């Protein structure tokens, strides 16, 4: 059986490495990108099953831009946005309301400090067998 592939996009190399280790040990393949521009190649090739994207990278809205691009290419492709924006700015984002879901193109929205088990649970819910 082919392993599911996760596209992990985060400018924090340490966190990205920890998430990659955890997800690979949980049976997933992981593609890594350090930011929006690096992730575009993977997105255009469409060779992944789900994307986990940090919200703020090169730009404050890089995660929103990437999720919009993914959903424009394939609306069924699951996207999880992870962010520390609320902790850093006090601004609350989410996908609980219809209005939020109308402009945040993500299937899950997880606040940092995330637990790896929380991330795995969201991934399993979206693409688990």
Provide the residue-wise pLDDT of the chain in tens; the chain has 129 residues.
Answer: 778 999 999 998 998 899 899 999 999 999 999 988 899 988 988 789 999 998 877 777 788 889 989 988 998 999 998 886 656 656 666 656 666 555 567 788 888 777 888 899 999 999 976
Token digits of residue 5: 């592939």
Per residue in 115-127, pLDDT (tens digit) is: 888 899 999 999 9
Alpha helices in the chain (DSSP H): 13-25, 36-45, 62-73, 85-89, 98-103, 116-127
Share of the chain above pLDDT 90, in %: 37
Q: Evaluate whether 11 touches 57 at the Cβ level (below 8 Å).
A: yes
Tell me the helices (H) and strands (E) count for the chain, helix number first.
Answer: 6, 5
pLDDT of residue 2: 79
pTM for the predicted model, two decimal places: 0.85
Q: List, in order, residues 6 or more apart from 81 with CB less than 8 Å away.
A: 53, 54, 55, 63, 64, 67, 104, 106, 108, 109, 110
The domain made up of 5-127 is a member of CATH 3.40.50.2300: yes
Q: Evaluate whether 110 touches 87 at the Cβ level (below 8 Å).
A: no
């Amino acid at each position: 059986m082919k392993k599911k592939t996760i596209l992990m996009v985060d400018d924090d190399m340490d966190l990205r490495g920890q998430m990659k280790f955890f997800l690979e040990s949980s049976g997933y393949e992981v593609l890594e990108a350090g930011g929006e521009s690096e992730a575009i190649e993977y997105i255009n090739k469409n060779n992944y099953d789900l994307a986990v994207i940090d919200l703020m990278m090169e730009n404050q809205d890089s995660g929103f831009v990437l999720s919009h691009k993914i959903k424009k290419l394939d609306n069924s492709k699951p996207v999880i946005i992870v962010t520390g924006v609320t902790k850093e700015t006090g601004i609350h984002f989410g996908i609980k309301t219809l209005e939020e879901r109308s402009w945040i193109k993500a299937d899950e929205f997880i606040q940092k400090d995330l637990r790896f088990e929380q991330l795995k649970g969201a991934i399993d819910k979206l693409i688990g067998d």
